[in-house]
Amino acid sequence: MTKYIAKRLIMSILTLFAIIFVLFVLIRIMPGNPFPVERMSAEMILQKRLELGLDKPILVQFADYMSMLMHGSFGNGTSLYNGAPIKPIMLKCLENSFKIGVLSILFGTLVGLVIGIVAALNRGKFLDGLCTIISILGVCIPSYVFMIFLQYFFSYKIPLFPYFFDPSKFLSSAVMPALSLSLFAISTVARFTRNEMVEVINSDYVKLAEAKGLYGFQLIRRHVLRNALIPIVTVIAPLVVDLLTGAMVIEKIYGINGVGKLMVDAIAGQGVDYNYVLALGIVFSSLYIGVMLLLDILYGIIDPRIRLAAKDG
């Protein structure tokens, strides 16, 4: 097991390194100047470039960057655009995105479970079809389209919630973005739950339990759900990362100060903020890789066959 974990860990670190390298090179060669402020003269821009070492060859810059990263600093640690330190602001934005992400995961999982269970218990009937349609819609409709829909009906037509995100009214502001983001979670969890449940319901031990006289809620809760739900962890974990990083458009249109909006602004703002784009890229990739690593290890614990397969491979 230790060997398995060590192997996965090394793979993850290598992957992260490769990602940072590709990101670094891509950002340096893409068009756009990090200091395109009309008020700066060519002389000042040159001076600034020298200060930041942007005149050196890309590989040297990369080595410098990695050494700074090892010391816990994203480049020189400040935004090229406004000079503010990156870390505290990114943490604050992560917190904002995370709060809404957690809300939507909670809601999405609960609703997804209910839909999945209802569908599984009524498989082949009308309710099953309805639940399937709902979960397919959830996967197909992009969350921001749903967000615009909610914004129009529940803020413009019926003013229930704030039209833009208002940090001083967190709860009521969070409802619409959390709902829109949960759409994907609902459908993923619902489909997964339904399939797992159907499989368990058809299994021999459930049939045995039924034969022994168990029925209804007791049977579902003690025998079906318990066994069907263990693997669901494996779906929810990547969803958390998806939500953190995938809320870009929603954060932008609803005005939430989250990491998604931070990323969009860093790329499409007035100048390409090398430091921010890289820092956010590294954080997003680390999150993904971290969760994937965790999952791999979890799989290994839940299902020893995976470990064996890895060994053979």
Partner 1 sequence: MKKVLMMALLLLAALMSGCGEESSNSGKLNVMLQSNVVSLDSAQATDSASFEVIADCIDGLMQLDADGKVIPALAQSYEVSEDGKIYTFHLRDAKWANGDAVTANDFVFSWRRHCEESTKYAYIMGSTVACVKNADAVIKKEIAPEQLGVSAPDAKTFVVELDAPVSFFPSLMCFPAFYPINEKFYNGLEKNTYGTSPETFLSNGAFMLTEYLPGAANIQLAKNNNYWDASRVSLENLQYQVVSSSDNALTAFKNGTLNLAVISGNQVENVKNDAELSKDLHTIPTGILNYLSFNQDAKNNHGGALANVNLRLAISNAIDRESLVDNYVTNGSQATYTAIPIRFAANALTGEYFASDQKQFADVVSFDVDKARTFLETAKSELSRDNFNLEMIYANDSGDTVVRVAQAIKSQVEENLPGVTMNLQPMPKAEYLDRITSNSYDIAITNWAPDYDDPMTFFTLWTTEGCEIAEHWSNADYDKIIANCTTGELAAKYNARWIAMYDAEKILLDNAVIAPLYTNAIADLISSNVSGIEFHSVAIERVYKSAKVQ
Say if CB 115 and CB 192 are below 8 A apart: no
Instruction: Kindly state the smallest distance separating residue 278's Cβ from partner 1, in Å.
Output: 16
Q: What angle do CA 265, 238, 192 make, to 5 degrees?
A: 130
| 255/290 with CB nearer partner 1 | 255
Least Å distance, CB 62 to partner 1, is: 22
Q: Count Cβ atoms within 10 A of the Cβ of residue 59 and give its class: 0-12 exposed, 13-18 middle, 19 or more buried.
A: exposed
To which residue do tokens 């069907």 refer? 228
Of the listed pieces 60-68, 84-92, 123-131, 290-298, which binds partner 1 according to CB under 8 A? 84-92
User: Using N-to-C axis directions, what is the helix angle for 274-302 and 233-246, rounded to 10°?
Assistant: 180
Cβ atoms of 261 and 144 closer than 8 Å: no
**Token code pair at residue 90:** 């990114």
- For the bound state, the minimum distance from the C-beta of residue 273 to partner 1, rounded and expressed in Å, comes to 10
Based on CB atoms, which residue is closest to partner 1, 253 or 298?
253
The least distance separating partner 1 from the CB of residue 77, rounded to whole angstroms, comes to 8
CA–CA distance, 194 with 114 (Å, rounded to integer)? 10
Contacts of 52 (CB under 8 A, 6+ apart): 75, 76, 80
Contact 97, 251 (CB under 8 A): yes
Q: Does 53 bind partner 1 (CB under 8 A)?
A: no
Q: Which of 78, 182, 245, 275 binds partner 1 (CB under 8 A)?
A: 78
Shortest distance (Å) from residue 108 CB to partner 1? 12
**Whole-number minimum distance, CB 128 to partner 1, in Å?**
23
Please state, in angstroms and rounded to a whole number, the distance separating the CA atoms of residues 211 and 203: 13
Q: Is 50 in the site for partner 1 (CB under 8 A)?
A: no
> Is 166 near partner 1 (CB under 8 A)?
yes
- Contact between 239 and partner 1 (CB under 8 A)? no
- The reply on whether position 304 binds partner 1 by CB under 8 A is no
Residues that bind partner 1 (CB under 8 A): 31-33, 35-45, 48, 77-79, 81-85, 88-89, 92-93, 99, 102-103, 106, 110, 152, 155-156, 159, 162-172, 221, 252-253, 255-257, 261-262, 265, 268-272
